[in-house]
């Protein structure tokens, strides 16, 4: 694992950087997840191992620093990731974002249009969080109530409800970080993440888990020229449920533009 010192605040983001001769892929994880937790098995698949694969733990998550004074908005995560891209001196690169990490990826893409080769999203947030979503549920709390009680309840309820992997990953988060990025998701972006996606001129792919279908966005996104891929035998948590299938979908997206 490597470290990146974020300029201006001294916080440290930690990440894996697996070597490969082909174009780099930067992976951005979602709410309650971690790049070091979600994506090693995906990145290790034969279909992707020729690429350089960069797996980040966002601030507040995984092995990265968890400062109480950071804002943890989607926009602020994208800001230091833009600096990180510059630090790595990435030329053309592929950007992958999952769920709420997709919103971060889209904000980052908007700032890196000149060097972004392709964006691949898996069940990304495109609009403000809908009712019934985890981020909307978290944002319904007052912050201190969530930090003191709601976070622990969410971890426990998720574990008891059979979502033990996500509960384990979430438990490594700073509760305040989970709350603030969930609140950012509930409000949505300006411009919207959907409008950013539609405006990008690079190749764009959106991946669904088979168990998440039907979804009206399949037709909507396809009508905007966005390639659709489906991971069999998986739902939203496709990196855990079918890592080989997710890697294959990512590879299919990459090969379609070569």
pLDDT score recorded for residue 229: 99
pLDDT score recorded for residue 120: 99
pLDDT score recorded for residue 204: 99
As given in the structure block, the two tokens for residue 77 are 């995560």
pLDDT score recorded for residue 258: 65
Q: Tell me the average pLDDT of the chain.
A: 98
Nearest in space to 35 (alpha carbons), one of 173, 236, 229 = 173
Among left, alpha and beta (phi > 0; psi -120 to 50; other), residue 60 is: left
Cα–Cα distance measured from residue 186 to residue 172, given in angstroms and rounded to the nearest whole number: 22
pLDDT score recorded for residue 8: 87
Cα–Cα distance measured from residue 57 to residue 16, given in angstroms and rounded to the nearest whole number: 9
Cα–Cα distance measured from residue 58 to residue 65, given in angstroms and rounded to the nearest whole number: 9
Confidence class for position 15, pLDDT limits 50, 70, 90: very high
User: Is a pLDDT exceeding 90 seen at residue 230?
Assistant: yes
For 147-197, write each residue's pLDDT tens digit: 999 999 999 999 999 999 999 999 999 999 999 999 999 999 999 999 999
For 60-114, write each residue's pLDDT tens digit: 999 999 999 999 999 999 999 999 999 999 999 999 999 999 999 999 999 999 9
Nearest in space to 90 (alpha carbons), one of 5, 2, 21, 24 = 24
Among left, alpha and beta (phi > 0; psi -120 to 50; other), residue 156 is: alpha
- CATH topology assigned to domain 2-129+189-255: Rossmann fold (3.40.50)
pLDDT score recorded for residue 26: 99
pTM for the whole thing?
Answer: 0.97
């Amino acid at each position: 694992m490597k470290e990146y010192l974020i300029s201006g605040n001294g916080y440290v983001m930690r990440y894996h950087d697996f070597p490969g001769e082909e174009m780099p892929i930067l992976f951005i994880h979602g709410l309650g997840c971690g790049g070091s937790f979600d994506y090693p098995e995906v990145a290790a698949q034969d279909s992707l191992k020729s690429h350089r694969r960069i797996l980040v733990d966002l601030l507040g998550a995984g092995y990265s620093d968890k400062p109480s004074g950071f804002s943890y908005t989607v926009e602020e995560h994208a800001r230091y990731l833009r600096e990180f891209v510059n630090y790595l001196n990435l030329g053309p690169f592929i950007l992958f974002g999952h769920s709420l990490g997709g919103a971060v990826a889209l904000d980052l893409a908007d700032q890196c249009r000149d060097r972004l080769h392709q964006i691949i999203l898996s069940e990304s947030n495109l609009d403000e969080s809908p009712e019934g979503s985890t981020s909307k549920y978290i944002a319904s709390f007052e912050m201190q109530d969530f930090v003191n009680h709601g976070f622990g309840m969410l971890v426990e309820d998720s574990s008891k409800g059979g979502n033990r992997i996500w509960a384990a990953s979430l438990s490594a988060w700073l509760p305040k970080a989970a709350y603030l990025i969930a609140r950012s998701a509930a409000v949505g972006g300006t411009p919207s993440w959907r409008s950013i996606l539609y405006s990008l001129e690079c190749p764009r792919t959106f991946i669904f888990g088979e168990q998440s279908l039907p979804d009206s966005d399949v037709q909507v996104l396809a009508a905007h020229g966005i390639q659709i891929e489906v991971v069999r035998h998986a739902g939203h948590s496709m990196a855990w449920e079918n890592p080989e299938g997710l890697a294959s979908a990512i590879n299919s997206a990459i090969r379609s533009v070569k």
